[in-house]
């Protein structure tokens, strides 16, 4: 059950909400591009470990 006043969906979006949605869209596109690059033929990477965890040290 939602508390409080019902949201008016006819109002224009606030600048912070627009910025948040734009950020989420950019992040989603970036992840898709990374997945496509990873699946592309000729993609080579070298794994390296340090005290903080696993890193990909070389992208080609």
* 20 vs 44, residue with greater confidence: 20
DSSP state of 56: E
| Residue pLDDT, tens place only, 4-41 | 888 888 989 899 999 999 999 999 999 888 888 777 77
Provide CB contacts within 8 A for 42, sequence distance 6+.
60
Q: How far apart are CA 6 and CA 29, in angstroms?
A: 32
Provide CB contacts within 8 A for 36, sequence distance 6+.
none
Q: How far apart are CA 49 and CA 45, in angstroms?
A: 13
């Amino acid at each position: 059950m939602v508390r409080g006043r019902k949201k008016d969906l006819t109002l224009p979006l606030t600048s912070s909400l627009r910025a948040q949605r734009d950020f989420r869209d950019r992040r989603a596109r970036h992840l898709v591009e990374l997945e496509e690059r990873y699946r592309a033929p000729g993609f080579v990477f070298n794994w390296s470990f340090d005290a903080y965890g696993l890193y990909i040290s070389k992208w080609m």
